[in-house]
Chains A and B, each alone.
Chain A
Amino acid sequence: MYDWHEIGALDAIPRLGARVVKTPRGDVAVFRTADDQVFALRDRCPHKGGPLSQGIVHGRRITCPLHNWVLELDSGEAVAPDVGCATSYPLRLENGRIWLGLNNGTNVSADARESA
């Protein structure tokens, strides 16, 4: 199950940009696409832990700033040929405000993935 946290306004994130949300379990990167979709991924690249929030957003993908891995924003999966996955988090957009869903521990499998 998720606890929902209001994290700020859509406009606080530049289009094709990202911001960081600090959580007790580490940083979460929140991305905004050109058409105002928002996505959240753990701010650690599956390759060598690069901060994805510092990368370049294009289409529905993010390029990591350290070695140019490209990940899907919705699933967190790396685009072939690279293999790996960054944990993704659910977001809700209501009246221009963004809400982030953090697992509160009742859904064990997702949590396991997060700490893996």
Chain B
Amino acid sequence: MKKEQLVLVGNGMAGVRTLEELLAIAPDRYEITVFGAEPRGNYNRILLSPVLAGEKTVDQIMINDLPWYAERGIVLHAGRPVMRIDRMRRQVIAADGTVAGYDRLLLATGSDPFMLPIPGNDLPGVIGFRDINDVETMLAAARTGKHAVVIGGGLLGLEAANGLMKQGMEVTVVHVLDTLMERQLDSAAAELLRVSLEERGLRFLMGANTAAVLGEEHARAVRFKDGLEIPADLVVMAVGIRPNIELAKQAGIYCERGIVVNDTLQSYDPRVYAVGECVQHRGQCYGLVAPLWEQAKVCANHLARYGIGRYQGSATSTKLKVTGIDLFSAGNFNGGPGCEEIVLRDPARGVYKKLVVKENRVQGAVLYGDTVDGSWYFQLLREGTDIGAFRETVLFGHAHMADSGRDGFSVMTMADDAEICGCNGVCKGAIVKAITDQKLFTVDEVRAHTKASASCGSCTGLVEQLLAATVGAFDKTPKEKALCKCTEHSHDQVRKTIREHRLTSLRAVFDFMEWQTPDGCHSCRPAINYYVLSTWPGEAQDDQQSRFINERVHANIQKDGTYSVVPRMWGGLTNSKELRAIADVADKFQIPTVKVTGGQRIDLLGVKKEDLPSVWADLNAAGMVSGHAYGKSLRTVKTCVGSDWCRFGTQDSTGLGVKLERMTWGSWTPHKFKMAVSGCPRNCAEATIKDFGVVCVDSGYEIHVGGNGGIKIRGTDLLCKVATEDEVKAYCGAFMQLYREEGRYLERTAPWIERVGLAYVKSRIVGDEEGRKALYARFLDSQQYAQIDPWAERASGRVDAHEFQPLQQVG
């Protein structure tokens, strides 16, 4: 049978999602052709805001890249807008003349930003916020211009304004009404939002009527009805969107505000389907993705000729994607006749929560400052649950209810068809099934398999709960211990938040996670400093004042306040020149003790703090660098002489040790990290009590991990055996990176492995080749920022000079 032809116009979120749904249930039914006006694959439009704010790259937001289409035999005409539909001949005609015939046509042309009909609205520098081009224009403007004006204080406008501000522009948001986001927020929450955005540096002109954009060749200023003018190198209009229906209208397909479709997503021409923002269903147009996913599912079902499923409209909820601001709204949040409001205000924590309730059923919700329960309220709303039994405590959130055991609401009590991820329309049953069938262990895996939590991220908490409840044999995960007294959050929560919200400084973590002390304490500051540095290498700010003294001055403090200096000796090798320099330094600075350490290098003990930079300068001159004997970092790589000299040696253990040390020196780790390479199983370098140890054998290299000679001795576990030095390096980098990313601060590899299990580490390093490569790549990437000799920097006098000199001598 010849396949039928399906043509999709609009290579965007709704259209391609419909294709994905269709291919999942009827992969061979159609030959598919896609026309897209944009010259690329399909990307996640929602995430343009983080791209603008510099929190994500364009590559990271692609959903379907070009190979995706090719692999499925889909012909993609990217960059070729369709100009005309010939319904008689059943053809579409693109701008460049490409023609494609269809048996079924799917329109998913999205919408266009509405541009205010004012003079100057077509000047260069005046744009909407809709696609990658717009973001690129804004980023370019931010590089050259200073002032940006965003017209429209809704969701989109605020995300644009925040992004432009992050890019260094001075941004004014102009809004006609007196309250922001009036479609999602009541005035109390809107006011909290405005104040907090103002604190971050946005300016607002409320109740302002824009009259014109001024400028000759390019936008220069914005004028208001009252005559006020403000400078503008860039004007972003975010006053609303308009369904993109020109094409359908021209073809005589019935449209009102959008293309009118029925419950099976068919237009008035039964061969023509439509989904997404371009449609009008039961009088309603949507501007958010969750309804589109539901439409896509139903539409695909009908395209596949299964003929079941009707689309009956969607309730929607929204979340503002401005890092550091938690805002959630759903349903009717302003109340009305017969409605009551339940309100909780906690100004100290910056929290405002309101539920609108009618006859004990939730009609709407606005949450500000604490949105963890957003999805729970949204579920109560959609299911019309009677909340009479827990009405007094409902605002304390659902964790509270579970704790008090009143009704035991937990994610596991939710129905299988309860939606967990609103963005992607994934219900609980699908997630649980994926976790059990595919043996998933991490949120990333769940994301990859089900798409739940892959868009805005607000459902991540629920997905985690599902994981915990499904994977763990025990029914209740114990509450994790707080990092320190300054917070209730655990190490893992802090780190996850740093990663998910791209927090790159201590201050950002304290603010975002609502630290209970103004600047932390000696326990949390070093930990968080490590977490931000290791999560965002090259980007996070290293806060010297949050490092323990040894790492701050790059030497070990001794009990009398003097310091020790340990230069690096790669793989334990040295030579006469280095030894001579060490001897000279010891004489010149009258260093009382010189000792050979167990890490195969030389320790100079009793150096006065003021002398440190000069000692380092002399050692640097002989080619030596810091040994990081003071750091939570790579210490040494101990080696034996190996096959170069030893009659038992099977491989060049010394050479391999030097290579490993050259690769890993300078890296910060949760706790100290020691390595060793022995040339044969006699194991003279004691590799089996190291964090990472290599024992050479005739046929290759055994890799051992998680050893420790400390207070509690622990022999290593055998991770695997490999054949080449390059593999040893790759496994070493990957293992270190996994520990760097997942070990808790001040947790050595030994307790870490006992906590997570050797099987887990094996599954990540040995079982998952792609994962291992990615870890190794991340390790190498972060090393480019780490391998700077801290001694040379300080010996030059340009870095932290104040650390080494007294402030004053009096008397």
A residues whose Cβ falls under 8 Å from a Cβ of B:
5, 7-8, 12-17, 19-24, 27, 30, 34-35, 48-51, 54-59, 61, 63, 65-66, 68, 70, 100, 102
Identify the 3 closest CB pairs spanning chains A and B, nearest first: A19-B807, A63-B522, A16-B545
Residue B597, interface by CB 8 Å:
no
CB distance from A108 to the nearest CB of B (A): 19
Q: Pick the interface stretch among B166-174, B513-521, B659-667, B733-741.
A: B513-521
Choose among A15, A30, A56 the residue that contacts B525 (Cβ–Cβ < 8 A).
A56
A51 (CB) vs chain B CBs: closest residue: B561
Choose among A13, A54, A66 the residue that contacts B807 (Cβ–Cβ < 8 A).
A13
Contact with A along B794-811 (1 / 0, CB 8 A): 000000001000111111
CB distance from B195 to the nearest CB of A (A): 22
Choose among B521, B548, B807, B811 the residue that contacts A20 (Cβ–Cβ < 8 A).
B807
B residues whose Cβ falls under 8 Å from a Cβ of A:
517-522, 525-526, 544-546, 548-549, 552-553, 557, 559-561, 802, 806-811
B525 to chain A: which residues have CB within 8 Å?
A: 56, 58
CB distance from B405 to the nearest CB of A (A): 36
- Is the beta-carbon distance between B808 and A5 smaller than 8 angstroms? yes
CA distance A18 to B200 in the complex (A): 30
A14 to chain B: which residues have CB within 8 Å?
A: 544-545, 802
CB distance from B786 to the nearest CB of A (A): 22
- Assuming the contacts A50-B561, A58-B520, A58-B522, asked whether A20 and B545 have C-beta atoms less than 8 A apart, the reply is no
CB distance from B561 to the nearest CB of A (A): 4
- Is the beta-carbon distance between A66 and B557 smaller than 8 angstroms? yes
- Is the beta-carbon distance between B807 and A8 smaller than 8 angstroms? yes
B810 to chain A: which residues have CB within 8 Å?
A: 5, 7, 21-23, 100, 102
- Assuming the contacts A13-B802, A51-B561, A54-B557, asked whether A21 and B522 have C-beta atoms less than 8 A apart, the reply is no
Choose among B521, B549, B802 the residue that contacts A54 (Cβ–Cβ < 8 A).
B549
A35 to chain B: which residues have CB within 8 Å?
A: 518
CA distance A68 to B227 in the complex (A): 63
CA distance A82 to B557 in the complex (A): 22
- Assuming the contacts A14-B544, A54-B561, asked whether A59 and B807 have C-beta atoms less than 8 A apart, the reply is no
CB distance from B549 to the nearest CB of A (A): 4
CB distance from B642 to the nearest CB of A (A): 40
A24 (CB) vs chain B CBs: closest residue: B811
Which of A35, A48, A65 has the most chain B CB atoms inside 10 A of its CB? A65
CA distance A24 to B808 in the complex (A): 12
A7 to chain B: which residues have CB within 8 Å?
A: 807-808, 810
CB distance from A20 to the nearest CB of B (A): 5
Choose among B517, B545, B808 the residue that contacts A22 (Cβ–Cβ < 8 A).
B808
CA distance A56 to B551 in the complex (A): 12
- Assuming the contacts A34-B518, A63-B522, asked whether A21 and B807 have C-beta atoms less than 8 A apart, the reply is yes
- Is the beta-carbon distance between A21 and B802 smaller than 8 angstroms? no
14 further contact pairs, Cβ within 8 A, besides A55-B549, A70-B522: A5-B811, A7-B808, A7-B810, A17-B544, A19-B802, A19-B806, A21-B807, A23-B809, A27-B806, A51-B557, A55-B522, A56-B521, A58-B519, A58-B522
- Assuming the contacts A56-B522, A56-B525, asked whether A48 and B807 have C-beta atoms less than 8 A apart, the reply is no
B549 to chain A: which residues have CB within 8 Å?
A: 54-56, 65
A50 to chain B: which residues have CB within 8 Å?
A: 559, 561
B548 to chain A: which residues have CB within 8 Å?
A: 56, 65
CB distance from B784 to the nearest CB of A (A): 27
- Is the beta-carbon distance between A57 and B809 smaller than 8 angstroms? no
B802 to chain A: which residues have CB within 8 Å?
A: 12-14, 17, 19
- Is the beta-carbon distance between B545 and A56 smaller than 8 angstroms? yes
Which of B517, B549, B557, B560 has the most chain A CB atoms inside 10 A of its CB? B549
- Is the beta-carbon distance between B518 and A59 smaller than 8 angstroms? yes
A68 to chain B: which residues have CB within 8 Å?
A: 522
CA distance A38 to B438 in the complex (A): 59
A63 to chain B: which residues have CB within 8 Å?
A: 521-522
A5 to chain B: which residues have CB within 8 Å?
A: 808, 810-811
B808 to chain A: which residues have CB within 8 Å?
A: 5, 7-8, 21-22, 100
